[in-house]
Chains A and B, each alone.
Chain A
Amino acid sequence: MKVRVDPYRCEGHSRCHSLAPELFELDDFGNATAVGDGAVPPGMEDRARLAAANCPEHAVEIVEDAG
């Protein structure tokens, strides 16, 4: 699983970062990007989904592994 933040939608509510700081980092203006290449370590899938489900701007995308 991977997470991605759509930079055009993100408005810096920082919900993703507060729910899953391991997966999302914020820049100096509070906008989020995925940590590293966005790969979700095993066991953190639920938190990734939680972050997506709480972003008011629908900016967090989840890419499930194929197969």
Chain B
Amino acid sequence: MSDSKPGSGAGPRPDADVAVQTCPVSGEGGPPPVERPTVTDWRTDWDHLGPRWRDDPFPIWDKLREGPIARTERFEGAWLPTRYEDVKAIAYDTDNFTSRRVVLRHRKFEDPPLPAPPLTSDPPDHKEHKRVLLPFFTPEEVGKLEPLARRICNALIDGFIADHRCDAAQQYARHIPVRIIAYMLGVPIRDSHLFIRWIHEILEIGNVDDEINRNGIKAMRDYFRHHIALRKEGRTEADPDGPEPDLIRAMMDGSLNGVPFEENHVLGTLNLLMVAGIDTTWSAIGASILHLGRHPDDRRRLIEQPELMPTAIEELLRAYSPVTMAREVRKDVELRGCPMKKGEMVLLSFPAANRDPAVFPDADKVVLDRRENRHVAFGLGIHRCVGSNLARMELRVAIEEWLKRIPDYRVDGEVRWSDGSVRGPRILPVAFA
């Protein structure tokens, strides 16, 4: 499939081609080395894009939780709450904290930023921006996709099981969510490699390279523009068994107060669905396989007591939460004695909140049968993850199918974690009998 061009057969796509040529993707050459000044004091100079945070952020958060909300002059001035209560207060306070920027990059660009509704929407429009998507993601609808998820997982395992080893991130976890969301959106699954590449450009290298970020976003928008144009001609390249309507069609037909969504809105949401659902779930699956590889006792327990699966999935999501978001301060506000100024950013670390010992006893332990678990891996308040039911299903199925066929395995080689705000293993070598 290496010969298929972006949007194969869809006419020239100059931006997509440029982006593809200029950007090495991790696992296919690795991202360019990013040089960042070393952090000396995490309370006053934190940096979530550096190697220490990437490789082991937990001790950093534990230290910071003891003091006031941490501050950095990097990123044009930003704050870092690490306690559950503070993260919750900010997530609920949509008056003082806007979602118009939700990624803390090395610097802000694009003013106003490109919208990605409902993620970047604030009240009152947020509700309608989200409502159009919700019926696609209920547990009942998601349940219908479970057989497809199982087929995808097994086909991937078929591809490497005879080798007695694989990279569980690159050859397994990575390919599961992307195929399912392509199916739901109504675009060909064979284009998955493009989505993986664009997302890497947007979410990882793009955090520190504006050009690559813009190219990735542009390529993805052009891609969706093409699939919208096809539908206007009464054509589609969707899977013939796929949902009817698919997500692209639903967005084309969406409206707010009787006014159809603008193109910018439609493209923003479609891009978001692609970006939000892939790296995130890939990360959760990878981190879970990594944990079970390094903790054979947990693995055996889960195999012997499959009834633990529901609590285990929630616990793995808590302990290895992949997603960190951000907010922009809308007007000057004080939080726990910290003067936050309009225009500054706040890193909203759901992962740090999920390790707060004030809320989770033994917060640093994975307790597969944890009974009380109000974790916030999918956020809190109005921006609760649209895809949470889908992500949970994908994670559960991916782990179930893996353990059925590869019950005994070990991590065998160096693990590499992602850069950026979505945290998960990107290289995960495992060996099995």
When C-beta atoms are compared, the residue in chain B nearest to A50 turns out to be B371
- For B367-411 the 0/1 string (1 means CB < 8 A from A) is 000011111101011101000110000000000000000000000
Least Cβ–Cβ distance between B204 and chain A, in angstroms = 28
Please tell me if the beta carbons of A11 and B382 are within 8 angstroms of each other in the complex. Answer: yes
Q: Does B139 sit at the interface, judged by CB under 8 A? A: yes
Number of residue pairs across A and B with beta carbons under 8 Å? 51
CA distance A28 to B375 in the complex (A): 24
Q: Does A38 sit at the interface, judged by CB under 8 A? A: no
- Count of chain A residues with a beta carbon within 8 Å of a chain B beta carbon: 19
Please tell me if the beta carbons of B381 and A11 are within 8 angstroms of each other in the complex. Answer: yes
Least Cβ–Cβ distance between B252 and chain A, in angstroms = 20
With a cutoff of 8 Å between Cβ atoms, the chain A residues found around residue B314 in the complex are 15, 54
Please tell me if the beta carbons of B374 and A11 are within 8 angstroms of each other in the complex. Answer: no
Least Cβ–Cβ distance between B263 and chain A, in angstroms = 25
CA distance A17 to B388 in the complex (A): 13
Please tell me if the beta carbons of B372 and A30 are within 8 angstroms of each other in the complex. Answer: no
Q: With A17-B139, A28-B134, A30-B389 in contact, is A53–B310 under 8 Å at CB?
A: no
Q: Does A33 sit at the interface, judged by CB under 8 A? A: no
- Count of chain B residues with a beta carbon within 8 Å of a chain A beta carbon: 22
CA distance A28 to B132 in the complex (A): 11
Please tell me if the beta carbons of B389 and A53 are within 8 angstroms of each other in the complex. Answer: no
With a cutoff of 8 Å between Cβ atoms, the chain B residues found around residue A11 in the complex are 380-382, 384
With a cutoff of 8 Å between Cβ atoms, the chain A residues found around residue B388 in the complex are 13-14
Contact of B137 among A18, A30, A56 (CB under 8 A): A30
Least Cβ–Cβ distance between A61 and chain B, in angstroms = 15
With a cutoff of 8 Å between Cβ atoms, the chain B residues found around residue A12 in the complex are 134, 384
Please tell me if the beta carbons of A18 and B310 are within 8 angstroms of each other in the complex. Answer: yes
Contact of B380 among A14, A29, A54, A56 (CB under 8 A): A56
Q: With A18-B310, A26-B139, A29-B135 in contact, is A53–B371 under 8 Å at CB?
A: yes
Please tell me if the beta carbons of B138 and A28 are within 8 angstroms of each other in the complex. Answer: yes
Q: With A11-B380, A11-B382, A14-B388 in contact, is A56–B374 under 8 Å at CB?
A: yes
Please tell me if the beta carbons of A13 and B381 are within 8 angstroms of each other in the complex. Answer: no
Q: Does A55 sit at the interface, judged by CB under 8 A? A: yes
- For B123-150 the 0/1 string (1 means CB < 8 A from A) is 0000000010011011110000000000
Q: With A12-B134, A28-B135 in contact, is A54–B389 under 8 Å at CB?
A: no
Please tell me if the beta carbons of A56 and B375 are within 8 angstroms of each other in the complex. Answer: yes
Please tell me if the beta carbons of B381 and A57 are within 8 angstroms of each other in the complex. Answer: yes
With a cutoff of 8 Å between Cβ atoms, the chain A residues found around residue B373 in the complex are 53-54
With a cutoff of 8 Å between Cβ atoms, the chain A residues found around residue B137 in the complex are 30
CA distance A54 to B140 in the complex (A): 20
CA distance A19 to B314 in the complex (A): 12
Please tell me if the beta carbons of A30 and B374 are within 8 angstroms of each other in the complex. Answer: no
Docked complex: A49-67 residues within 8 A CB-CB of B = 50, 53-58
When C-beta atoms are compared, the residue in chain B nearest to A29 turns out to be B134
When C-beta atoms are compared, the residue in chain B nearest to A28 turns out to be B135
CA distance A49 to B133 in the complex (A): 30
CA distance A11 to B381 in the complex (A): 6
Contact of A29 among B131, B139, B372, B381 (CB under 8 A): B131
Docked complex: B30-61 residues within 8 A CB-CB of A = none
With a cutoff of 8 Å between Cβ atoms, the chain A residues found around residue B310 in the complex are 18-19
With a cutoff of 8 Å between Cβ atoms, the chain B residues found around residue A30 in the complex are 134, 137-139, 389
Contact of B376 among A29, A53, A56 (CB under 8 A): A56
Docked complex: B6-22 residues within 8 A CB-CB of A = none
With a cutoff of 8 Å between Cβ atoms, the chain A residues found around residue B378 in the complex are 13, 56
When C-beta atoms are compared, the residue in chain A nearest to B127 turns out to be A29
16 further A-B pairs in the complex, CB-CB below 8 A; given A57-B380, A58-B374: A11-B384, A12-B134, A13-B384, A14-B138, A14-B389, A15-B314, A17-B139, A18-B139, A26-B138, A29-B134, A30-B134, A53-B373, A54-B373, A55-B374, A56-B378, A57-B381
Instruction: Give 30 pairs: A residue, B residue, CB < 8 Å, sorted on A.
Output: A11-B380, A11-B382, A11-B384, A13-B378, A14-B139, A14-B388, A14-B389, A15-B314, A17-B139, A19-B310, A26-B139, A30-B134, A30-B137, A30-B138, A30-B389, A50-B371, A53-B371, A53-B372, A53-B374, A54-B314, A54-B373, A54-B374, A55-B374, A56-B374, A56-B375, A56-B376, A56-B380, A57-B380, A57-B381, A58-B374
Pick the 6 closest A-B CB pairs, nearest first: A11-B384, A53-B372, A29-B134, A56-B374, A30-B138, A28-B135
